[in-house]
């Protein structure tokens, strides 16, 4: 009985390499495709916690798949199929070295920067007199460089990206257009479910001369959502906004004396706590998609994933 997947070391047909991130294990198939397994690992304060969260990988993978499908009329994306509830198979693209961050509100890191006196973010002027969680007149794009593992991403402006040759001007202007259109579509969908898409990040790549939207989109791991029904009242009263994110995990860790600093011990993750986190992720899924979450068979997750992926790859190769 293995109810979560914490690590994977499969050997699939055509496999060339494996890349392992904090949450995702990505298999290179024939240097043409990627098989992305969204594990049940959970990280906070740049630390991967010792226990997996049942259904977490399924939640993130299926949210991303739904939003990729809902925006593929705007921009081509890397997804070809989801051979398992926790797996996406798609095109291997050459990633652009920049992440596109879209912000509709002055919150999070942008608020901290503003509060410290800055009135410009990534070359975009921000007016005086704004307050935390205030909506911008229109959403802004604040790109960051994609840092190597262990280093922080850094803000960068459109002019610097083009001047430094990170992305050609023609491609960058097209990526900006795609970014804003995908964000607006995501915002419309969120509002239908009583949510506000506050900010998010998108990544793009290129294959055979065509720009693709890649990786995950609009998940609670890559985005911030507010609840729409009490946003205005909370803003007018300068109250914290009710957020839909994994912030509750960070709060539990802090309450138990852990913030990822040297010498600190990760608190024991009891079965009760793990189940509570699992329930919250399922709640996130149902709020974001407006659909009932259908639990997959977790009697042996690693075995299920391997079987589904092998069957899919064998059929895919024979097509």
User: pTM here?
Assistant: 0.93
Write the CATH number for 61.
3.30.200.20
Judge whether 131 lies within some domain: yes
In 3D space, the residue among 24, 199, 196, 46 whose CA is nearest the CA of residue 110 turns out to be: 199
Give the HSE-up count for residue 225: Cα atoms under 13 Å, Cβ half-sphere. 28
E strand or H helix that includes residue 318:
helix 301-318
Q: What is the DSSP string of 230-290?
A: GHHHHHHTTPPPPEESSHHHHHHHHHTT-SS-TTPPPPP--HHHHHHHHHHHHHHHHHHHS
9 domain residue, yes or no = no
Tell which residue, 200, 204, 186, has the closest CA to residue 108.
200
Same structural domain for residues 124 and 260?
A: no
Those residues whose C-beta lies under 8 Å from the C-beta of residue 21, and which sit 6 or more positions away, are: none
Give the CATH number of the domain where residue 177 resides.
Answer: 3.30.470.20
Side-chain-side CA neighbours of 53 within 13 Å: the count stands at 24
- Domain span holding position 135: 95-204+216-243
Does a structural domain hold residue 5? no
Is residue 4 a part of any domain in this protein?
Answer: no
Residue-by-residue pLDDT tens, the chain, 319 positions: 579 999 999 999 999 999 999 899 999 999 999 999 999 999 888 889 999 999 999 999 999 999 999 999 999 999 999 999 999 999 999 999 999 999 999 998 899 999 999 999 999 999 999 999 999 999 999 999 986 654 567 899 999 999 999 999 999 999 999 999 999 999 999 999 999 999 999 999 999 999 999 999 999 888 999 999 999 999 999 999 988 888 788 889 999 999 989 899 999 999 999 999 999 999 999 999 999 999 999 999 999 999 999 999 999 975 5
Report d(CA 198, CA 132) in Å as an integer.
Answer: 12
């Amino acid at each position: 009985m293995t109810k979560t997947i914490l690590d994977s070391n499969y050997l699939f047909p055509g496999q060339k390499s494996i890349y392992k991130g904090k949450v995702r294990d990505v298999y290179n198939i024939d240097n043409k495709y990627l098989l992305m397994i969204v594990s049940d690992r959970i990280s906070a304060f740049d630390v991967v916690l010792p226990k997996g969260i049942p259904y977490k990988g399924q939640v993130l993978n299926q949210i991303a798949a739904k939003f990729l499908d809902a925006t593929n009329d705007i921009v081509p994306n890397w997804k070809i199929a989801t051979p398992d509830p926790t797996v996406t198979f798609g095109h291997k693209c050459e990633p652009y070295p920049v992440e596109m961050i879209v912000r509709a509100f002055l919150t999070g890191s942008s608020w901290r920067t503003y509060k410290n006196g800055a009135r410009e973010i990534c070359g975009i002027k921000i007016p005086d007199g704004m307050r935390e969680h205030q909506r911008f007149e229109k959403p802004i794009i604040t790109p960051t460089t994609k840092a190597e593992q262990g280093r922080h991403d850094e803000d960068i402006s459109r002019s610097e990206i083009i001047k430094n040759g990170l992305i050609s001007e023609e491609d960058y202007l097209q990526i900006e257009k795609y970014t804003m259109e995908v964000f607006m579509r995501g915002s419309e969908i969120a509002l239908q479910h009583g949510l506000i898409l506050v900010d998010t990040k998108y990544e793009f790549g290129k294959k055979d001369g065509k720009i693709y939207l890649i990786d995950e989109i609009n998940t609670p791991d890559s985005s911030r959502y507010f609840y729409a029904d009490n946003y205005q009242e909370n803003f007018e009263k300068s109250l914290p906004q009710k957020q839909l994110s994994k912030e509750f995990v960070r709060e539990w860790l802090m309450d138990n004396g852990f913030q990822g600093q040297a010498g600190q011990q990760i608190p024991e993750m009891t079965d009760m706590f793990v189940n509570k986190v699992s329930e919250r992720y399922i709640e996130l899924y149902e709020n974001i998609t407006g659909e009932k979450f259908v639990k997959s068979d977790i009697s042996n997750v690693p075995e299920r994933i391997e079987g589904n992926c092998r069957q899919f790859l064998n059929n895919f190769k024979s097509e």
